[in-house]
Amino acid sequence: MSCLSWSSLTVLAGVLSVRVAAWNSTYYNPVIPGFHPDPSCIFVPEEDNTFFCASSSFNAFPGIPIHASKDLMHWRLISNVLNRPEQLPTLAITNGSTSGIWGSAIRYREGTFYVLTTLVFDDQPETNNSRWDNMVFTSVDPYASGAWSQPVHFNFTGYDTSPFWDADGTVYVTGSHPWEVTPGITQTTLDLATGAVGAGYQYVWNGTGGEAPEGPHIYPRDGYYYLMIAEGGTGLNHMETIARARAVGGPYEANPANPILTNANTSEYFQTVGHADLFQDAEGSWWGVALSTRSGPEYTVFPMGRETVLFPVTWEEGEWPVLQPVRGEMSGWQLPPTNVDVPGEGPFTNEPDYLTFSPGSTLPIHLVHWRLPINASYTVSPPGYPNTLRLLPSKLNLTAYDGNYAGPGGQTLIARRQMDTLFTYGVNMDFAPGAEEEEAGVTVFLTQNHHIDLGMVLLPYTNASTNMTVLTPCFRFRSASYIAVPPTTVTPVPTAWLDRTLHWEIKAFNITHYSFAAGPADAYSQMQTFGYGLAADVSWGFTGTLVGIYATSNGGEGTAPAYFSEWTYVGQGQYRD
């Protein structure tokens, strides 16, 4: 074992002080808040010095959102890679809340953008090769969803596949082998146009011994190939490690300073840091992105799930990269000048919603469904109902069959990501249920087995004064979760509110609770709160909370439409420590 001398430490401290002195910007994480896990980012000088990031989307559709920025601070949703049901029809039949689109890697080469990803059927055994459906999407115009190609599928046992072009033009794909079978990072060659893979796969590195080595990326630098991966699982032990080799296939030598990034075993608010990617800016400074949950080490309240965070990286010639620990407030390299001149189809991450569903408009690309939608169930400004969004009920409710499976019949749900710790979401609804259990309303939705709902539903209700039971429109507040939930409450809709447009509101008024309220849209003073939901009940798994609207017959034959209008979402604050 060797140690540094005091003179060596003095020199090292001097070098670090010079590097830190170059950090003259302060910014705040997360840079892409809400349900945006497993980030992969690149810098493309050919696209007017623009940064591009992809993230995983699991069962949400449209999926694989692409964000772009010119200053690293203002990120715009410019397109969704997965935007047409015919691109991936099997997304409709995934089983389980952790199934769907896992980690996606974005890269650029000679005018073309490439996104590699995996559709995972997480209910299947890891030994079943059909569990993993790997594919590559391409586009020459990342600002338009429709420009993303049909996928080219390729055979790879595992997930988190990432491409790398060697100096001779050979394309290698490096990915994560199912860790419960044989943990490690495997590699082969790949023809990106045809999906043809090499004759064999080789294990290139098994990591440092942490659970679930995954999320690999390769970076060529100073005569080395650097292989960076995540280990420890995507919970509190998550970390990033790195190795390097003189040949792309190894043998790889681990960095003695591993892990190079983690918040494990700390009291930091930002936890589960890992699944990172590195890139340079126009000045040559290195940056990194990773996922993180704002949960603290208690890891019980983190409804927005795994979000995208940014950190500066120091990478001296011939040395290992040094990644700065993730915090809510960061100091970093000089940021590019503020520039929001970013084309694209969607909003910036800090923009509020004011949606009117005007005639001739289409649904904004930041609104999502759970799996593939039944398009006929969503109509913008139908005849006789301008400036509304009509929902037709699905037979299945938000829990569906068992909290995991829904099948190709779909669930009528449309929502947006929660992107602020504190927010107010509002929408107007006209709904006249005519059959028992017909229901429409608002929801904070994480997965089929984790959601909080306030709906208007037609139920048998016994009048206490007359002792008669009749079908009555009621407000029903209820939750579903793996942990304890508040009791379901049922309250008759006041007679004076019937046949009127009602305003519905969800408010995250502190870090732990949501309030659910409703009342006449023309008399806000009469709004009543009908329930309080726990953020802990929607803090679980791989995804983050969605806020939106739904309609269901709850297994019955009801077909009554619900008409929604005046959709708003306003962020009102972020907790960062």
Q: Catalytic amino acids?
A: 38, 214
User: What's the DSSP call for residue 2?
Assistant: -
Cβ atoms of 281 and 295 within 8 Å: the answer is no
Query: Residue 405: what are its φ and ψ, rounded to 5°?
Result: -115, 145
Rounded to 10 degrees, the C-alpha dihedral 75/76/79/81 comes to: 20
Specify the pairing of strand 422-431 against strand 413-417. Answer: unpaired
Q: Which of 564, 563, 561 is nearest to 438 (CA)?
A: 561
- Exposure of 57 by Cβ count < 10 A (0-12 exposed, 13-18 middle, 19+ buried)? buried
**Edge-to-edge strand list for the sheet holding 270-280:** 270-280, 286-294, 307-314, 322-323
Cβ atoms of 244 and 224 within 8 Å: the answer is yes
User: What's the DSSP call for residue 376?
Assistant: G
How many CB atoms are located within 10 Å of the residue 46 CB? 9
Distances from the Cα of 517 to the Cα of 31, 280, 532, angstroms: 31, 47, 9
Cα–Cα distance, 45 to 67 (Å, whole number): 16
Specify the pairing of strand 378-380 against strand 253-254. Answer: unpaired
How many CB atoms are located within 10 Å of the residue 217 CB? 23
Cα–Cα distance, 203 to 184 (Å, whole number): 7
The H or E element spanning position 491 is strand 489-492
Enumerate the H helices of 175-295 as residue ranges.
none
Residue 33 sits at the vertex; the CA angle it makes with 452 and 217, to the nearest 5 degrees, is 120
Query: Residue 198: what are its φ and ψ, rounded to 5°?
Result: -65, 170
How many CB atoms are located within 10 Å of the residue 331 CB? 13
Q: What is the largest CA-CA distance in the chain?
A: 91
Residue with tokens 């209910």: 123
Cα–Cα distance, 235 to 92 (Å, whole number): 28
Cα–Cα distance, 313 to 84 (Å, whole number): 37
Cα–Cα distance, 109 to 462 (Å, whole number): 67
Per 3-state DSSP, what percentage of the chain is helix, strand, and coil (rounded to 5)?
10, 45, 50
Rg (CA), the chain: 25
